[in-house]
Amino acid sequence: MKMRVWSTTLLVLIALGGAGLAAAADRPHNALSRPELTWRADQRAEPWIDVLAHELALVEVRAAGLSRHGRDVLGRINALDVERMNEALAAGDLVFVELQPAIGRLLTVRDSALAAVEEWRLGPPTRSRFDQLGSAVESAQTVVGSWQAIGTDARRVAGLIDSLLRHDGLVFRATTAGRAADWDDALALLEQAKGPLGEATEIRGVLATGLNTDTLDDLLDRYRAYDASLTAMYSYIRDTGRREGREFKALEAEVGRAQAALPADTSAMSVIVAEAAGPPLTDALVAIERARGDILDALAVAESDQP
């Protein structure tokens, strides 16, 4: 009788134990509570995480330099200081020359890491760090295009400023010649002024895509009206020798109206630059800072969440 009781008890215990083992076998592994399951893969990933962080840090230093020079470019161009703006662009281009191979090395390391690391074997903490570094690499690549956009937009607006200033200089020389009664020279200078005004008009056509050019359009129209009125009056005086009479008075009055419509200072040009350069340059600078933020966040995680 006792033998039967013990046999039954033993069978019940075996059954319960087997059920427990089966339940344990069916339960999915939890890497957070079982880090030993991912330890080897995590350890193999660590050197790659370190190298990725190192290369990202080198890229971030250069991105910071581009951001600094880009802000200088924007400030100089808003001040209509084309010479200093070009200096800031040149300084940024030197940093950009260093950035490109740094990006190349970063991408090579990223590709090698992806080939060497079995991401599906990583524990969640290591996988998170690895993924965030990978996302930062993608962000880092955008810095290249952002700086190129800054250079393109800044040089285009600088060309616009230069064209308008050269036009103004030629017209000023023409009026000086007119006051000296040198009509041929005055008319020749007004003819030359059409060149930079045409260049400014071409640049305006490029800027018109997605930007507000109302102030620029208005200024170009006023310049054309003034140049045309001066040309008409100087031509009349040269051809007739007359500086009196109804026809001359009408031409002179037209010059007066056109001259009065011209801006008295560079405020209009400042508005033009703000409308043409402000939005694209600001957007590019924001993009660089956003990429830097992604890189710095990834570097902080890589350094602080060591397993």
**Phi, psi dihedral angles at 68 (to 5 degrees):** -65, -45
What the block records as the tokens of 71 is: 């802000």
Cβ neighbourhood burial of 228 (10 Å; 0-12, 13-18, 19+): middle
- pLDDT over 60 at 22, yes or no: no
Q: Is 306 exposed, middle or buried (0-12, 13-18, 19+ CB in 10 A)?
A: exposed
Domain at 40-156+282-304: CATH architecture: Up-down Bundle (1.20)
Compute the mean pLDDT over every residue in the chain, rounded to the nearest whole number: 85
7 pLDDT more than 50: no
pLDDT 10s digits, 28-62: 444 444 666 677 877 888 898 999 999 999 999 99
pLDDT for the residue 37: 67
Specify the DSSP class assigned to residue 238. Answer: H
- Taking each continuous run of H as one helix and of E as one strand, the counts in the chain are 8, 0
Q: What is the pLDDT of residue 172?
A: 96
pLDDT confidence bin for 257, thresholds 50/70/90: very high
